[in-house]
Structure 1
Amino acid sequence: MADPHLTLPERSALLALMILVHEASNANLSDELGIRIKKEEREHLVELGYVKAWQTGRHRAWVHELTDEGWRRCGDELGSPAPERATRATRLQYALTRRFAAFMARSDLRVADIFVLGDKPIAQSVDITDRIRAAYTELAAAPGVGVSLARLRRAFADVARSDLDAALLRLALEPKVRLEPEFNQKTLTPADRAAGLRTGGEDVHLLSIEQS
């Protein structure tokens, strides 16, 4: 059952991020779906652990992304009753999504099987996170020390770059995992730059995982 203390705009924000799949700024949300996530909504969703948010670019625009808990929460929302005092259109929407959720339950499907980036389910990225951890342990001089993505990618020649990138981004949502840019950009080789990953409005080149 969905959390009763979430407001309708907060619920809408979660579902909008689910629909867009990837990280999204208010400009993206407005262009695609005609909504914006206000400060109070963002802060509450971050506090609940449903959304990760950061500022980027010259204008310090806010960017939002669902966490794993946020994805689970969206799955709950699809099967929830309409909020109190919802409009007729919103009640119709929730009636439709409850039917959709019932079909997913009968078919043993999750939201990650339906809402995909490109043509690959988001859930596919989860399967290789253990391999990433193992490769990092083998390559890192010590826990928490950065390993270049160029070195890391060589251990995943059998994995599509898009799948590896998705897994890295999901792994980076965990508290002790960081994707960071190289501080001294002059030391980057062409291979380092080619292996970089774009996230949060910048290119990152290093993975570090602190010891649990």
Structure 2
Amino acid sequence: MPQDKPKLSSLQRTLLYALMAEARVISNPELDECCGLRIVGEDRRVLKAEKLVTSEKSGRTYEHALTERGWTWCRAEFTATPGGRPAPLDRVVHRMTAALDRYLSANRLTIDQLFTAEVPELAEEDAEASIVDRVRRAYADLAAEPEDWVSLTDLRRQLDGLPRHEVDQVLKDLDGKGGTLIPEANQKTLTAEDRAAAVRIGGEDNHLLSMAE
């Protein structure tokens, strides 16, 4: 960042942070909706004069985005020491952004790459394979050895967070194809949780799973 780092008001700094977080061209109505902010008047004039943002008329509103200089300003803020006597929250946020700065440096990433990164969507077959793998890993964690019987109650606890219907389908697909599902022989020992964890196949509730490997 050049030595003549611009002196900005608290609001102007906040506006730059908002543009950094959005990492796109964004209109005033959109910025207002997501952040409760608008870049108007003197704030718009200052940020544009300092070449920190682009701000162009689009229809009846303005659209804004960070310039390269704006991104550089934001990156410098990651390690800038809070002035005065900062509140605990400000000190914690400073430590967080300093950690982000170290991460970017270690991985040779630019700040805009951090904020524009997208999570790739799993193909349907990949998502299903992922659930199968998690079922197998959960079974391996619970079973003392291959072909041990594992309670579906315990298995589901290991898979907490996965959609119930998808786990059920994977268990049904595994039955007879590397896995075996059976009912609990002593039905009197079943708890309400055991009954809820069961997989129903052919009109019969199954409570235990065995896998060869």
Choose 1 or 2 for highest CA Rg. Answer: 2
Question: Taking CA–CA contacts closer than 8 Å with sequence separation of 6 or more, which of the two structures ends up with the larger relative contact order?
Answer: 1
The two structures have a TM-score, normalised by structure 2, of: 0.48
Normalized against structure 1, the TM-score is what? 0.48
